[in-house]
Chain A
Amino acid sequence: MNIEEVDSRLREGVPGGVLELHKGPYSPHLVVDAEKIREVCLFLRDDGALRFDYLTHLTGLDCGELLCTVYRALSLLHKRTVAMRAYVPREDPVIDTISDIWASAGWFEREAYDLLGIRYRGHADLRRLLLPEDWEGHPLRKDYVDPLRYQDIDNTRDYGI
Chain B
Amino acid sequence: MQQLLDRFIESRGWTGDWAIELVYFLGMLFFAVALLLVVVTPFTGIVSWAERRIAARMQSRVGPNRVGPQGILQWAADGLKCILKEDLIPEDADRILFTAAPYLVFCGLFGAFAVLPFSEHLVIADLDAGAFYVMAITSLVPLGIIMSGWASNNKWSLLGGMRSAAQIISYEIPAALSLLAVVLAAGTLSLQGIIRAQGWSPADWFLFRNPFLFTGFFYFFVANLAEGNRTPFDLPEAESELVAGYSTEYSGMRFAFFMLAEWANLYVVASVVNVAFLGGWNVPPIAEGVVLTILQMVVFAAKSLVLVFVIIWVRWTLPRLRVDQMMLLCWKYLVPLSFLNVLGTAVWMMIVPEGSAAGRVASWLLVLVGLSLSGLFGLRVRKNLKDADVGRLYLNPFS
Q: Do chains A and B touch in the complex (CB under 8 A)?
A: no
B interface with A by C-beta (< 8 Å): none
